[in-house]
């Protein structure tokens, strides 16, 4: 049995930032992560992190309030304006703090942190470290922790949260390396487990982003918020769905269908390829659906007219991604692209101090819905969210553990028994469904029925299929019966959680009869503020997903139509 004051589940940017806060306070702290923290998905972020520093020439007047306005508008007015204020107000000091920790941000000639323009932002306010911002931030935060008093449980997979008398008092975790199961008690527990991109067949996310935190919370009776809001990025590489940054269109790339038409002129004649993400994603999907794609799968992102020099200078990362992963040299040929899942706006319901409705449990980062992104996230705001709310989560937990006595270990003991039984039932079953094919089918159902375009009949058919998958899940077998680094066992545990939360995404999408931000209903193409200027709350009751709604916190910015 391991006993801590504070347990942080997740070693990405959110978890590590919270860990600094927790450990500096002298509380006995542990970080549990299913991969080594440096392998967390935060490492993959490319473009940058937003803060109204006003460093860019002509952007001297930028202020956190402008940043907040852009964020609220981008969210299609679904973001809570109080949490947006916190994020944008804290942004400049959060970025400066990262610089003080040693992050090598790219610089302007005068030596100040460089800032570039990003979609949906009035001023250039995205700070970056070349096209490797996530790598630089994550490695720097991890470096900060190397001399701090903190225990890391690397490659431990959290299987359940412990709930004792209405409070979360710890968790159980499987040591992936040797297969042993461990019990943990904590006075405060933070979920910082990242997004649920792997629910979808096509995603820019790492395959490890399976939404475990949402599933852990959901099972423990914590509501999930706005799960139907899933961002689809227009240009992901056909085949692997690795992200091809917006910058490729920013630098002048064209999109062509199989008739060699720049089809964006049919959709948004003015902005063309530079229209907002959700609009371009829908246009590409439409072209493919109506037979104007290549191999019925993708369109072409053509950079060839930019010339070798510009491509090498401005988009070297994109060139090597295309060459390494699709064997296409963008200097000579167009890049095959298709829309893919990119970001999870929904997540564990948490409030402005990162606490959840269940005492003892906190949630922050992409796994949470504190609602700074509403119905649509702006590029550069999620890295910001991780560090701002990671810190706040740490502070809240430090406050929250004062005067709390050590939790009882009895509930942990019974949870360990239950979890062992769950694991054994998977390992000992010897006939049934192939686990990998159930997972593949789930991802396809989610992408086909709850993807870029949604519509009532299509979604109802999808929900039927999810029910069938649920049945198949109970019969899933794996052949590896061993304990040592049994990845198939981990995949199966992940899959159980994925199916569980897919219900929240599905029911939330079906119930929301409007189009807002990333959620596009062909049968309800307009936003409906009267009925749906609301957050969706999904509860798990008696093996069923129940949908309720709660109010959006409005503020300085009146709700308006979102036009660009």
Ligand X SMILES: Cc1cc2nc3c(=O)[nH]c(=O)nc-3n(C[C@H](O)[C@H](O)[C@H](O)COP(=O)(O)OP(=O)(O)OC[C@H]3O[C@@H](n4cnc5c(N)ncnc54)[C@H](O)[C@@H]3O)c2cc1C
Residues that bind other proteins (CB under 8 A): 35-36, 38-41, 43-44, 96, 99-102, 104-113, 129-130, 132, 134-136, 139-140, 143-144, 146-147, 177, 206-208, 239-240, 242-243, 321, 324-327, 435-436, 440, 478-480, 482, 484-488
- Least distance from ligand X to the Cβ atom of residue 457, Å: 31
d(CA 380, CA 283): 23
CB-CB contact of 221 with 337 (8 Å) = no
Whole-number Å distance between alpha carbons of 221 and 214: 11
Stretch that binds ligand X, among 12-20, 318-326, 456-464, 543-551 (CB under 6 A): 12-20
Residue 520's beta-bridge partner residues? none
By CB under 6 A, residue 52 contacts ligand X: no
Choose between 129 and 230: whose C-beta lies nearer to other proteins.
Answer: 129
State the CB neighbour count (10 A cutoff) for residue 164. 17
Residues 85-114 that bind ligand X (CB under 6 A): none
Q: Residue 206 — left, alpha, or beta (φ > 0 → left; ψ -120 to 50 → alpha)?
A: beta
User: Looking at 204, 285, 338, 545, which residue binds ligand X (CB under 6 A)?
Assistant: 204
Rule CB under 6 A: is residue 161 a binding residue for ligand X? no
**Which pair of structure tokens corresponds to residue 121?**
């932002």
Q: Are 10 and 217 in contact (CB under 8 A)?
A: no
Q: Segment contacting ligand X (CB under 6 A): 188-196, 329-337, 442-450, 531-539?
A: 188-196
Hey, CA dihedral for 278, 281, 283, 285, is it positive or negative? negative
Residues between 232 and 261 that touch ligand X (CB under 6 A): 243
What are 293's two structure tokens? 């794609």
Greatest Cα pair distance, the chain, in angstroms, is 69
Is residue 158 a contact point for ligand X (CB under 6 A)? yes
- The candidate with the shortest Cα–Cα distance to 503, out of 428, 441, 442, 419, is 442
112 is catalytic: no
Residue with tokens 């510009």: 310
Scan residues 493-532 and list those touching ligand X (CB under 6 A): none
34 binds ligand X (CB under 6 A): yes
Q: Give 552's DSSP letter.
A: -
Residue 383 near residue 372, CB atoms below 8 Å: no
Residue 454 is a binding residue for ligand X (CB under 6 A)? no
Q: What are phi and psi of 378, to 5 degrees?
A: -85, 140
**Of these residues, 249, 277, 512, 521, which one is catalytic?**
277
- Nearest distance from residue 192's CB to ligand X, in Å? 5
Looking at the Cβ atoms of 200 and 540, the one nearer to ligand X is 200
- Residues taking part in catalysis: 277
Q: Which chain residues interact with ligand X by CB under 6 A?
A: 9-15, 32-35, 37, 40-42, 44-49, 133-134, 157-158, 192-194, 204-205, 209, 212, 243, 343, 365-367, 379-383, 386
């Amino acid at each position: 049995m391991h006993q801590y004051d504070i347990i942080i589940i997740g070693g990405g940017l959110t978890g590590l930032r919270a860990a600094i806060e927790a450990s500096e306070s002298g509380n006995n702290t542990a970080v549990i992560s299913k991969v080594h923290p440096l392998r967390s998905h935060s490492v993959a972020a490319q473009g940058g992190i937003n803060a109204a520093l006003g460093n860019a020439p002509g952007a001297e007047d930028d202020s956190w309030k402008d940043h907040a306005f852009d964020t609220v508008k981008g969210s299609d007015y679904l973001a809570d304006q109080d949490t947006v204020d916190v994020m944008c107000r804290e942004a400049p000091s959060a970025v400066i703090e990262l610089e003080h920790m040693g992050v090598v941000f790219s610089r302007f000639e005068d030596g100040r942190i460089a800032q570039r323009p990003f979609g949906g932002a009035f001023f250039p306010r995205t700070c970056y470290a070349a096209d490797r911002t996530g790598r630089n931030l994550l490695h720097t935060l991890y470096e900060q922790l190397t001399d701090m008093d903190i225990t890391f449980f690397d490659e431990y997979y959290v299987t359940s949260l412990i709930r004792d008398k209405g409070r979360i008092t710890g968790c159980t975790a499987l040591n992936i390396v040797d297969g042993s199961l461990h019990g943990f008690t904590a006075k405060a527990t933070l979920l910082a487990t990242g997004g649920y991109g792997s629910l979808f067949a096509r995603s820019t996310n790492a395959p490890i982003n399976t939404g475990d935190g949402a599933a852990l919370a959901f099972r423990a009776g914590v509501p999930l918020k706005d799960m139907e809001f899933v961002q689809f990025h227009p240009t992901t590489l056909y085949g692997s769905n690795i992200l091809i940054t917006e910058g490729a269109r920013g630098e002048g790339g064209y999109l062509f269908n199989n008739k060699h038409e720049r089809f964006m002129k049919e959709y948004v004649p003015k902005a063309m390829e530079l229209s907002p993400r959700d609009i371009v994603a829908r246009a590409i999907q439409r072209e493919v659906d109506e037979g104007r794609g290549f191999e019925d799968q993708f369109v072409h992102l053509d950079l060839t007219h930019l010339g070798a020099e510009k491509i090498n200078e401005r988009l070297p990362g994109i060139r090597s991604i295309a060459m390494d992963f699709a064997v296409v040299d963008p200097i000579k040929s167009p890049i095959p692209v298709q829309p893919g899942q990119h970001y999870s706006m929904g997540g564990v319901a948490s409030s402005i101090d990162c606490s959840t409705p269940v005492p003892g449990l906190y949630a922050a980062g992409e796994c949470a819905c504190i609602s700074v992104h509403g119905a649509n996230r702006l590029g550069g705001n999620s890295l910001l969210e991780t560090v701002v709310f990671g810190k706040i989560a740490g502070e809240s937990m430090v406050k929250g553990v004062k005067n709390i006595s050590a939790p009882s270990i009895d509930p942990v003991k019974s949870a360990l028994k239950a979890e062992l039984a769950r694991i054994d039932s998977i390992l000992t079953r010897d006939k049934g469904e192939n686990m990998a094919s159930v997972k593949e089918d789930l991802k396809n159902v989610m992408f086909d029925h709850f993807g870029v375009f949604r519509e009532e009949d299509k979604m109802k058919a999808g929900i039927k299929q999810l029910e069938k998958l649920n049945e198949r899940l109970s019969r899933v077998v794996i052949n590896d019966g061993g304990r040592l680094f049994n990845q198939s066992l981990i995949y199966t545990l992940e899959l159980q959680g994925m199916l569980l939360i897919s219900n929240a995404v599905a029911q939330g999408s079906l119930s929301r009869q409007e189009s807002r931000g990333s959620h596009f209903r062909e049968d309800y193409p307009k936003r409906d503020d009267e009925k749906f200027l609301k957050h969706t709350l999904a509860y798990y009751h008696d093996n069923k997903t129940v949908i309720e709604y709660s109010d959006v916190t409005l503020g300085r910015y009146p709700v308006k139509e979102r036009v660009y």
